Amino acid sequence: MEQNPSAFNASGDSLAELPLEGEDEVVSRASPLRSWLSVVSVAIGAFAFVTTEFLPVGLLPQIALDLNVSQGTAGLMVTIPGIIAAISAPGLMLGAGRINRRLILLVLSVLLLASNLVSAFAPGFGIMLLGRALLGAALGGFWTLALATSGRLVKQEHAAKATAMILSGVTFATVIGVPLGTFISGLSSWRVSFMATGALAAFALAAQVLLLPSLPSKAAIRFSDMRALLGRSNPRKSLLMVALVFGAHFSSYTYVAPFLAESGFSLSAITTVLLGFGFVGFVSNLAISTTVTRHLQTSLFSIVAVLMVALFSLPLLHASVAGVTVMVLAWGIAFGAIPLCLSIWLQLSSPDLPEAGSALFVSIVQVAIALGSFSGGVIVDGFGISATIWLGSVLALAGLVMIASFGMNNKKLHEVLQH
Res. 337 pLDDT band, cuts 50 70 90? confident
Q: Which amino acid is at 146?
A: A
- Of the candidates 186, 180, 149, 189, which has an alpha carbon nearest to the alpha carbon of residue 21? 149
Alpha carbon 318 to its chain's center: 28
Domain ranges of the chain: 21-221, 223-419
Q: 360 versus 5: which is more confidently predicted? A: 360
Q: According to the model, what pLDDT value does residue 220 have? A: 59
Is residue 137 within 8 Å of residue 88, measured between CB atoms?
yes
Q: 311 versus 179: which is more confidently predicted? A: 311
Any residues with CB less than 8 A from the CB of 150 and at least 6 apart, and which?
A: 20, 21, 39, 42, 159, 162, 163, 166
DSSP conformation letters of 261-292: HHTT--HHHHHHHHHHHHHHHHHHHHHHTTTT
Res. 325 pLDDT band, cuts 50 70 90? very high
Kindly report, residue by residue over 124-173, the tens digit of the pLDDT: 999 999 999 999 999 888 887 887 777 778 777 777 778 778 877 776 77
- Of the candidates 18, 27, 15, 21, which has an alpha carbon nearest to the alpha carbon of residue 1? 21
Is residue 337 within 8 Å of residue 286, measured between CB atoms?
no
Decide whether 21-221 matches 223-419 in CATH topology.
yes
Kindly report, residue by residue over 63-118, the tens digit of the pLDDT: 888 999 876 677 678 778 888 888 887 777 777 667 888 999 999 999 999 999 99
CATH 3.30.750.24 fits domain 21-221: no
Is residue 402 within 8 Å of residue 240, measured between CB atoms?
yes
Q: According to the model, what pLDDT value does residue 409 have? A: 55
Backbone angles phi, psi at 264, to 5 degrees: 100, 10
Q: According to the model, what pLDDT value does residue 114 have? A: 97
Q: Which CATH class is domain 223-419?
A: mainly alpha
